[in-house]
Amino acid sequence: MTDPDQKQRMQQLEDKIEAAKQAQAPAPRADEHYSQAQLAWRMVIELVAGLGIGFGIGYGLDVLFGTLPIFMVLFTMLGLAAGVKTMLRSAQEIQEKKLADEAEKRDEGARNGG
């Protein structure tokens, strides 16, 4: 019952099943890794959002109190500072993640006999 021909056919069947499983495996999602352009747009949007919010608050206070340029300029500068601070925090987060990925790859290479 277990002649060599049957064993060979069984091995071929197992290889085909494994190949089919590999073909059916889900591919890594494309949005898991950000491109440099996406990161740059994120930082630009953070800066512009800070400026816009600061301008809006300043303009609203100026209209409310009747002192048009004072609060608008002040809060626009505060919005700029908040936007720059958020950009720097994002850049630091991205750099830490990149360094962690590089360290993980280095450690994995060392474990695999590199």
pLDDT in tens, 44-85: 999 999 999 999 999 999 999 999 899 999 999 999 999 999
**Percentage above 90 pLDDT, the chain:** 46
Q: Does 21 have pLDDT greater than 90?
A: no
CB burial of residue 54 (10 Å; 0-12, 13-18, 19+)? buried
pLDDT at position 109 is 76
Average predicted confidence (pLDDT) for the chain: 86
Q: Residue 33 — pLDDT band, cuts 50, 70, 90?
A: low
Q: Does 12 have pLDDT greater than 70?
A: yes
**Percentage above 70 pLDDT, the chain:** 88
Task: Please give the Cα distance from 17 to 3 (Å, whole number).
Answer: 21
* Average pLDDT for 35-40: 86
Name the residue with higher pLDDT: 42 or 30. Answer: 42
pLDDT at position 22 is 78
Extents of the domains making up the chain:
36-114
